[in-house]
Amino acid sequence: MALADRISALLTIVRSAEAEIGSLLVEIESRGVLELFGYRSAARLFEHLADVPKSAAETVVKRARALAGGRNLDGTPIPAVAPATGTAALDGGLSTPMIDTIVGALTRIPPEHREEAEQHLLTFAADTGHKQVTALGARIIAHLDPDGTEPESTEPAQPSRELSLRRRRTGVWELQGRFDDETGARAGALLDSLAQRRSTDEGPDLRSQQERYGDAFSDAIDLALNSPDLPMQAGERAHVMVAVALDDLKSGVGAATLGDTGRISAAEARIHACDCMLIPTVLGSRSEPLDLGRQYRLVTAGLRRALYLRDRGCAFPGCHRPPRHCQGHHVRHWADGGPTELSNLVLMCAHHHRLLHRSGWQVRIATDGLPEFLPPVFLDKRRKPRRNNLHRPLPFAA
């Protein structure tokens, strides 16, 4: 903890110094860099002062102009794009990516809306990372320009599709196939959208590209299984059956049967049991069913709609996944006596649902009825509660 605190303190000093260097370069530029130092531009001066590449020096000066204004080569003034951000940067609380994110968003926002939008972005930046601010900036831009660009239409190619799926003895499934250009493009677009790096507060996404696409394929299957238009099988919707002993489910220790031959851990079954169809069964000494209870769903359709309206997507801080990608998570697991009601449920995507079951993150329902998350001590020693504000309405009206 002492090491992390020291790094945070040094980062504040470095960021403050970088912001002050930028303001000094703008001041030199306003007085006349040619008259003062004989250089034709502030970027060329900084290139030699800091011993950095020309492109890096130009980026520093460009960023400084956006924060504090400046002058063109002909002496005409350049108005600041984000003056409030420049003031905040001098305190050392904003990283370079955060500054670039705010400036990039404000550059695309009409001047009459910039001041108000900048204040909201800075307020949001106080408790989040630059990826969340990027998402908020995109939402503001979309709010101000809802039409966007008109998509182009293309002619579909002749379908030619083949697919094979088989399970090996090790429990690993292998997928192989060939698709026409149209199907491949649609599959690629779907997986690309689902395979983006997680823009959350639990740290960087260290998954490889193959791992991210594997997780994206799993998410796509969940979306298809949750579709009301999926064809029936033997009078029922397509489903996967998981059988686990109640004691193992409560403790999370042991194994569960997946489908016909697969096996998963009881801890994994506990994750799925948060939001499932449940059939209580009494078995005999030879595992023969003696009493089959009535099937019921833990999270009913009405509860799910209430969760959609309240959380509007994955409730984990910084996650942008919409409701259709999410599952209902019991704050206090139902196997431990937790009720299946709105005050004990949180909407979460599969990735963060697993993260919550396996890490130091905790979730609770605050006094205002909304979920909030307590980070692990190594992320925040105060464990200050965090919320996901990406799904909430924009804080201003255009």
* Domain spans in the chain, listed from the N-terminal domain onward: 1-144, 242-275, 291-374
Of the candidates 328, 332, 374, which has an alpha carbon nearest to the alpha carbon of residue 353? 328
Q: Are 322 and 135 in contact (CB under 8 A)?
A: no
Alpha-carbon torsion, ordered 263, 266, 268, 269, to 10 deg: 90
- Cα separation, 326 vs 253, in Å, equals 25
In a structure prediction context, what are the per-residue pLDDT tens digits for the chain, which is 398 residues long? 889 889 989 999 999 999 999 999 998 888 888 888 888 888 889 988 898 898 999 999 999 999 988 766 566 777 888 899 988 899 988 889 889 989 988 888 888 888 888 888 888 887 777 778 888 888 888 877 666 555 555 554 456 788 888 878 777 888 888 888 778 888 888 888 888 776 555 566 777 888 888 888 888 877 777 666 666 555 555 566 777 777 776 666 677 776 656 677 767 776 666 666 666 666 655 655 555 555 656 778 888 888 888 888 899 988 888 888 888 888 888 777 888 888 889 998 888 888 887 777 899 999 988 999 998 887 778 888 988 888 776 555 44
Q: What is the CA radius of gyration of the chain?
A: 27
Tell me the three state secondary structure of residue 230.
coil
Burial classification of residue 265, based on how many CB atoms lie within 10 Å of its CB (0-12 exposed, 13-18 middle, 19 or more buried): middle
The verdict on pTM exceeding 0.85 is no
Contacts of 153 by beta carbon, 8 Å cutoff, 6+ apart: none
In whole angstroms, how far apart are CA 80 and each of 68, 83, 104?
Answer: 5, 6, 13
CB 314 within 8 A of CB 326: yes
Cα separation, 200 vs 128, in Å, equals: 9
User: Which residues lie below 8 Å from residue 71, measured CB to CB, with a gap of 6+?
Assistant: 29, 30, 77, 78
In degrees and rounded to multiples of 5, residue 265 shows phi and psi of -75, 160
CA nearest neighbour of 135 among 15, 304, 313, 305: 313
User: Among residues 57, 111, 101, which one has the least CA distance to residue 79?
Assistant: 111
Longest dimension (CA), the chain: 95
Q: Which residue type is seen at 42?
A: A
DSSP SS3 for 6: helix
Write down the pLDDT at residue 10: 94
Distance CA 155, CA 213 (A): 27
**What's the DSSP call for residue 376?**
P
Query: DSSP class of residue 234?
Result: T
